[in-house]
Amino acid sequence: MTAVVEATDLEKSYGETDALAGASLSVERGEVFALIGPNGAGKTTLVRALTGTTEPDDGTARILGNSPTAVDRSRIGVLPQEFSPPGRLSARELLSYYAGLYDDARDSDAVLAAVGLADSGDTWYEELSGGQQRRVCVGSTLVNDPDLLFLDEPTTGIDPAGRRTVWRLIEELTEGGTTVILTTHDMAEAERLADRVGLLADGRLVAQGTPAELVREHGGSSRLAIETGADLEAFADLDHPVERPEHDRGRAPGNAVVVRNIEPAEIGTVVDYLEDRTITYTELSWTEPDLEDVYLTLAEPTEHERTDRFEGRDGGVGETDLARTGETA
């Protein structure tokens, strides 16, 4: 099958900054390809190279079988990260304005309904909430019924119900054959929508695959968080690696000890261990690794993230681990 989007070794520098340092990807018709990666990784630059709004220094990009600057613009839709339409037009007038740019456009009220704004068509853009404004912006990319849609953080600022409206909309579009390149910092969004995910770090796609493949390869192990005041040392005889992470991304309570590499069927042995040693605890919670774990493992960690990550992810409790976590042996 011919790829709808094909990038080969794209490079782009701004002065000393290598925004793209050899990025390659290939996306088929009807796929949602999510681009994830830290701030400054090059996601927007890659989208700009693919949409023809920036010229790469090297490498090639093709969309819908053409160079990005030569492609029929009525076949693509682009939602940039920053998009500020005039405030003193109603939602309907805005969509009608964008629809007027194409010979063959969708009905504005149908698009308003699709983005969940059927009742707000007469409201000035500037009087809509931030999330409603973003939904109008998403709608503006749909008026020409594009074959290829670039959505740069489409749901930023949208409330949970509105996010689901946009997600369902994207799912309906792809069922109809639309190809979507989605940039997002929301791992739940990528996991829900993406057929494949590309993780960009320092201008390179360092991993690509289905969410499940990436989690399997890079997500690490499942974990059991035990909310307890007991020292880490109390778990030294447990047959699993145990850590006390300083932060567990809000998953485990502040005073949790985390048991790694543990399947649900093994939780009973941990409960027995706690009871045999009269270790008191208030809560047990088991979680599987997800795309956020992949992200934290592969993306260039910031200083903050470095602190957030587990020390010795897959290792057991050794002297060094105890020293690092500040526990006494």
Please report how close the Cβ of residue 162 comes to ligand ATP at its closest, in angstroms.
21
CB closer to ligand ATP, 8 vs 13? 13
DSSP line for 52-82: TSS--SEEEEEETTB-TTTS-GGGEEEE-SS
Q: Which is nearer to ligand ATP, 188 or 236 (CB)?
A: 188
CB of 44 to ligand ATP, least distance (A): 3
Residue 237: is it exposed, middle or buried by C-beta count within 10 angstroms (0-12/13-18/19+)? exposed
Distance of closest approach, residue 185 Cβ to ligand ATP, in angstroms: 7
Instruction: Determine the Cα–Cα distance for residues 248 and 265; give it in Å rounded to an integer.
Output: 23
Q: How far is the CB of 34 from ligand ATP (least distance, A)?
A: 13
Q: Are 224 and 267 in contact (CB under 8 A)?
A: yes
Least distance from C-beta 308 to ligand ATP, angstroms? 18
Structure tokens at 59: 């490498």
Q: How far apart are CA 315 and CA 240, in angstroms?
A: 9
| Minimum CB distance to ligand ATP, residue 41 (Å) | 4
User: Smallest Cα–Cα separation from 169: which of 187, 185, 145, 188?
Assistant: 145
The residues, any chain, with a CB within 8 Å of residue 115's CB and separated by 6 or more, are: 135, 136, 138, 139, 142, 165, 166, 169
Residues comprising the chain, all counted: 329
Closer residue to ligand ATP (CB): 47 or 215: 47
Which residues of the shown chain bind ligand ATP in the complex (CB under 6 A)?
14, 17, 19, 37, 39-45, 81
Note the Cα 260 to chain centre separation in Å: 25
Sign of the torsion formed by the C-alpha atoms of 44, 248, 292 and 217: positive
CA gap 184, 189 in Å, rounded: 7
Please state the closest distance from residue 46 (CB atom) to ligand ATP, in A.
Answer: 7
Amino acid at 82: E
Contact at 8 Å (CB) between 228 and 270?
no
Q: Report the residue number, 82 or 276, with the smaller CB distance to ligand ATP.
A: 82
Rounded CA-CA distance 296/55 in Å is 31
Nearer Cβ to ligand ATP (45/140)? 45
Q: What is the DSSP string of 214-247?
A: HHHHHS---EEEEE--S-GGGGTTSSS-EE--S-
CB of 156 to ligand ATP, least distance (A): 10
Residue 272: both structure tokens together: 């027995």
Q: What's the min distance (Å) between Cβ of 159 and ligand ATP?
A: 21
The residues near 135 (Cβ < 8 Å, ≥ 6 apart) are 115, 116, 117, 158, 162, 165, 166
